Amino acid sequence: MFDLQWTEEAERIYHELEHQANEIKKKREKKQKSKSSKQEGLFKQVQKTLRHLRENPRHPGLETHPYSSLEHPWDSSQKVFEAYAQNNTPAAYRVFWCYGPDKKQVTIITITAHP
């Protein structure tokens, strides 16, 4: 198991996604609709991605690969990785992360729609 660390940006985005999903869920339940919204689904997918990162950053479902357009927060010689939260979706969400700063830690750099 890896301990998840967060940049301020990643933590802010995660909480925004969570807040949006919860607000939509409350409205949906108030109207007694059973089908989840896209925002709720997105948040669940991001949570699943983070769970896989915590358990095994090399989980095949993450389709993790190095990403060169972001700089590593502590050591520019180290790699930043991209993991899929969504796939085959317009502007699919990705989680950008790196190992560290300590052993058995993964730092979430940002969560964003794929450019």
**What pLDDT score does 36 carry?**
76
**What pLDDT score does 115 carry?**
66
Please give the residue that has the higher pLDDT: either 71 or 18. 18
CATH class of 3-113: alpha beta
Q: What are the phi and psi torsion angles at 77 (to 5°)?
A: -85, -10
**What pLDDT score does 48 carry?**
96
DSSP-derived secondary structure for the chain = --EEEE-HHHHHHHHHHHHHHHHHHHHHHHTT--SPPHHHHHHHHHHHHHHHHHH-TT-GGG--EEESSS--SS-TTS-EEEEES--SSTT-EEEEEEE-SSTTEEEEEEEEE--
Q: What angle do CA 112, 66, 17 make, to 5 degrees?
A: 15
| Span 12-66, pLDDT tens digits | 999 999 999 999 888 888 888 877 778 888 999 999 999 999 999 999 999 999 9
Q: Mean pLDDT score of the chain, rounded to an integer?
A: 91
**What pLDDT score does 67 carry?**
92
Taking residues 58-78, report their average pLDDT. 90
Taking residues 105-115, report their average pLDDT. 91
Q: Report domain extents, the chain.
A: 3-113
Please give the residue that has the higher pLDDT: either 94 or 38. 94
pTM above 0.85, yes or no: yes
